[in-house]
Amino acid sequence: MVTKEEVIEQLDEVEDPELDLSIVELGLVYDVRFRRKRGRHSR
């Protein structure tokens, strides 16, 4: 399973093209949440 820290680490690589700063550095990422999918899974 992917962790919150891993997601933030990947998002830190996404840069604003005009400012050349990551969206995390700019404070545009407030939180990371995971939602469980409901329903049946095929095997």
Q: Is the pLDDT assigned to residue 15 strictly greater than 90?
A: yes
- The Cα-based distances of 31 to 4, 12, 13, 41 in angstroms read 9, 13, 16, 28
- The answer to whether the Cα torsion of 23, 26, 22, 17 is positive or negative is positive
pLDDT at residue 35, rounded to an integer: 86
Is residue 43 domain-resident? no
pTM over 0.85: no
Q: Is the pLDDT assigned to residue 41 strictly greater than 70?
A: no
Is residue 2 domain-resident? yes
Domain count along the chain: 1
- For residue 20, the enclosing domain spans 1-35
Mean pLDDT of the chain: 89
pLDDT at residue 22, rounded to an integer: 97
Is residue 41 domain-resident? no
